[in-house]
Structures are given as C-alpha cells and as structure tokens.
Chain A
Amino acid sequence: MSKWTAAADANRGTLEFSIAQADVQKALKPAFDKNKNQIAVPGFRKGKVPMSLFMQKFGEEALYQDVMDIVLPAAYDAAVAEQGITVVGRPDIIPVSMDKGADWQMKAEVAVAPEIKLGDYTGLSVEKQDTTVSDEEVDAEIKRQQENQAELILQEDGTKAENGDTVVIDFDGSVDGDHFDGGQAKDYSLELGSGSFIPGFEDQLVGHVAGDDVDVKVTFPEEYQAKDLAGKEALFEVKLHEIKRKSLPDLDDEFAKDVDEDVETLAELKEKTKKNLQEARDEAAKDAFEDAAVQAAVDNAEVVGGNLPEEMIHEDVDRQMQQYLAQLQQQGISPEMFFQISGQTQESFHKQFEEGADNRVKTNLVLEAIVKAEKIDPSADEVAAEVKSLADQYNISEEQVKQSLSDDLLKHDIAMKAVVDKIVSSAKVK
C-alpha cells in the first residue's frame, strides 16, 4: 500500500508506503546473521549465540536498523512502481513508525522526473553549414605541409640574420650587473620572430652575422613570471654562432610524393587534399546539423512545472565527472593527481560540468518523452543486432556485451537513436 502526494513544486512529492510485518519477520534472520559475529554473550563464543536467545535477551528491536536496510529497497521500489512515478536522485526516506508486530509506515521525500510537453519535433527547419572547400584553403593546407617539410640550412659566414631564421647563440643576462638565475645558456637554438623570448630580444639579433657579439638590451614585461625580474631592464651579452635559414621544398611532383606516397603529381595531391578537407567538413556539418535539429526539438519542448529538479542536474554532473576521471584513470592519472596538477578543487570541477548540464538533462528527457509518444519499442531482433554491432565495434564477444549491458539499457539506447534519426531525417535545411 502506498500513497503519493505531490508537493507544490510539481517535481517533488511525498511517497508514503508501508512495509509488511511479514517481510520484517523474514528479514530478522539475515539481519541477525549479519550481526552475530559482534554479539558477545557470556557462555558463548562470538557468533555462536542462538538467535532465540538473542531475541530473549535483546529483543528484535535491536535488529531493526539492519532489517530496515534489507526490507527497505524492495518495499520502496514496489511503492514507486505502484505509483508509476519516475524518481530521480536519492529519496529522503524517514520512518514514520517501526512498531513491533505491526506494519511499518514510511515516508519518502522524492524528486520526480518532470513531465515534458513536447513541441514540434519532426519537419524542423535547421540551418546547414556551408561545406564548400575553396582553392585557397587547399593551398593553405599544402603550404602548411610545405612548412612541415622545410629544412634548416646552415648559412655561409657573412649572411645577415633575418626574421624567421633560426640562430644558435650563447647568452648571459644580467640586471644591474647581477647575473640572474636562468639567464645563461650555451648553444641555444632560437627561432627569430617566434616570440619565445622576451619582446625585443629577437628583433635585436636581426641583421647580425655569425660570429658577432651583440649586447641586447631589453625590459622584462610587467607581468613576467619571475616576480623579481618583472619590469626590470636587463642586458644580455649574446654571441651569435650560426644562422640557419628555413628552406622550403619546391612545390612539384617530387614534393607531392614525399608528402603522400599514394599520389604521383602535385595536382593529384591537391585533389586529394581537397577531398579530405571536404570529407572532414561534411562530417562536421552533418554532426552540427544533427545537433541543431535535436536542439531545436528540445527547445520546442517544455518542462512542465518550469524547473528541472536539482537532483537530476547533480546526477548528470556527477556522471560526467566520473566519466572524465575514469578516462584519466585509464591514462594512469588518479583523481588525486588530477586535482593536484590542475589546481582544481572538487567544487570548481563540479561547477565546470554544471554548465550545459541543464541542457543535457532536458535533451534526455525530451528524447525519452518522444520515445514514449512515438511508442518506439525495439524488438528482440533489434537488440540482438545492436549487441552484434557493439561486439564488432569493440572487438569483444556478444556474451560480454550482454553481460555489461542489460536488455533494457540496450533497448533504451536503440530507442534514443531511433528518435534522433527521426528528428534528423525529417528535418529540413533552412
């Protein structure tokens, strides 16, 4: 027996239910077995006390805590099922009465999944990204590969350094005559114009030839990471050893072959590059189109009662966090290490995932509502097919898939996919 009272806030309520005395009696034995090793009675070794003697001495009330743990989940689930509500988050369960020999009365404060009022979700018009790949983009890609293939050629003595050259230098920096830590290096390769040194440093080497001694005067920026140097003027004594210049390979068939073994000519390479770019672009556009279509369907739907229960958001955030940390764990980074390295706290990390949680939760609810509205019920065949495809995808046996995923879960996934397909396939390009 149970009773459901919705609270003022539409997405919560109170569920009252009872636990039959018969169930309590049945649970006494396992509860006793769980505790008997801790019970000391004179004349008996621990764990050897007969249950009847324990009842006589302490009474069954002493076991109620553990009895509750045993009977509560089943009773609670039964009550939830009876009321046909979808509970989210952890229920707050309070025993109203736990009297000996009578049915126990319980009260649970729960949050329920809000109802969703669906808007249009088929025939949506959604914008599609432009996917044309211009020749300039192809050329830029080729140029990038050309840069990758570039070689550094040592320049003859007397060549003046230019921006873009890589110079090999010794330097010794000082502030007011003090040689500070980290200001010295030998045979250091520096690409001029790369901006990896303090602003001004690289510019002052331009125009010098190998063998030159150059005094470079620079001012450390105000926001320099070393506090004691920030804003100070410094003098670097630099000895220029070598100048190397980047030499780009010629854009010809030879270069094309170097870049990609499958092509013979530069024209072919361009074509192939264009095709690859096009594919990536199309893929991205397709994903974006799908996302936009689903998002439109979600935006059209409305959460009855206005707000999503906090519990759902928290659940989602926790799930995201767990997933993220589990991924790190696979890379051998423990959560503790992660928090130390990233300098994040549990809270700030939690915050980070809260963004978008709203939308994710709503999207899920909307998709589930559509599944219900469309009466999508995947058949056993479809489940079997899904198992097979998952098995192929992860290269594991079908049994393993079934072991880790229940039929219900698979059905849910298939139904969700079907809904997304439905939304996307019926969506029109704006």
Chain B
Amino acid sequence: MDARDIIRRPIITEASMAQTEMKRYVFEVDVRATKPEIKRAIEEIFDVQVARLNTANVRGKKKRQGRYVGFTRKMKKAIVTLKADSKDIQIFNEG
C-alpha cells in the first residue's frame, strides 16, 4: 500500500494536542495497516524518525434508524512517538 493511503488524517482534539509537547502525535490510519507499515509511512511522509508506535482499533458505534440497526465506520488510531532528535510534524504546529 502507498504511504498516503495508509495515513488518512491527523486527529486534532484537545487530548491529542496535549501530547504534542512529548513529541507524540495521533493519526487515523487504514484499519488494515500494520505497525511496521504505519511507521514506514509516517517517516516517509513527514521526514521524521519514529521511536514508538502504538495503535488502537476503534470499533464503530451501533446506530439504529427505526428497526434497522447498523454500525458507524470503524477505524484504527495510531499514536506515534517521535525520537527526541527528530523534527516536529508541522500539521500540529502549536506555538
């Protein structure tokens, strides 16, 4: 898979922004991507070095419309910790 298909979007919320100081950034990634793939993709796109990578599968929420029951989209979250000497990712350019 291509790097830009793996990384879907940055997740910008209060919780994710609070971690940018620790060089930790959160992205939504393709659910099928593996940690090594994600690590490679991040390094390629942002030209940074990844120190640690945690992922989490976020299940879709159960929604119903009348008698029809369905699920919202599931997604995979990747929490990337960069090496201390790596440069920052500019999408989260606080300060």
Binding site for B on A (CB under 8 A): 42-45, 48, 50, 52-53
Residue in A closest to B17 when the chains form the complex, CB atoms: A50
Confirm or deny: B95 has a beta carbon within 8 angstroms of a beta carbon on chain A: yes
Contact check, A53 vs B12: say whether CB atoms are below 8 A apart: yes
Binding site for A on B (CB under 8 A): 11-14, 16-17, 93-95
Contact check, B94 vs A44: say whether CB atoms are below 8 A apart: no
B94 to chain A, nearest CB (A): 5
Residues of the B chain whose Cβ atoms lie less than 8 Å from the Cβ of A50:
17, 94
Residues of the B chain whose Cβ atoms lie less than 8 Å from the Cβ of A43:
11-14, 16
Residue in B closest to A45 when the chains form the complex, CB atoms: B14
A52 to chain B, nearest CB (A): 5
B90 to chain A, nearest CB (A): 11
B72 to chain A, nearest CB (A): 15
Residues of the A chain whose Cβ atoms lie less than 8 Å from the Cβ of B17:
44, 50, 53
Contact check, A44 vs B13: say whether CB atoms are below 8 A apart: yes
B48 to chain A, nearest CB (A): 19
A54 to chain B, nearest CB (A): 11
Residues of the B chain whose Cβ atoms lie less than 8 Å from the Cβ of A42:
13
Supply 10 further A-B pairs (C-beta < 8 A) apart from A43-B12, A53-B12: A43-B11, A43-B13, A43-B16, A44-B13, A44-B14, A44-B17, A45-B14, A50-B17, A52-B93, A53-B94
A98 to chain B, nearest CB (A): 25
Residues of the A chain whose Cβ atoms lie less than 8 Å from the Cβ of B94:
50, 52-53
A53 to B14: give the CA distance in the assembly, Å.
11
Contact check, B95 vs A52: say whether CB atoms are below 8 A apart: yes
* A48 interface neighbour in B11, B14, B95, Cβ under 8 Å: B14
Residue in B closest to A55 when the chains form the complex, CB atoms: B93
Residue in B closest to A52 when the chains form the complex, CB atoms: B94
- Sample (15) of A-B pairs whose CB atoms are under 8 Å apart: A42-B13, A43-B11, A43-B12, A43-B13, A43-B14, A43-B16, A44-B14, A44-B17, A45-B14, A48-B14, A50-B17, A52-B93, A52-B94, A52-B95, A53-B17
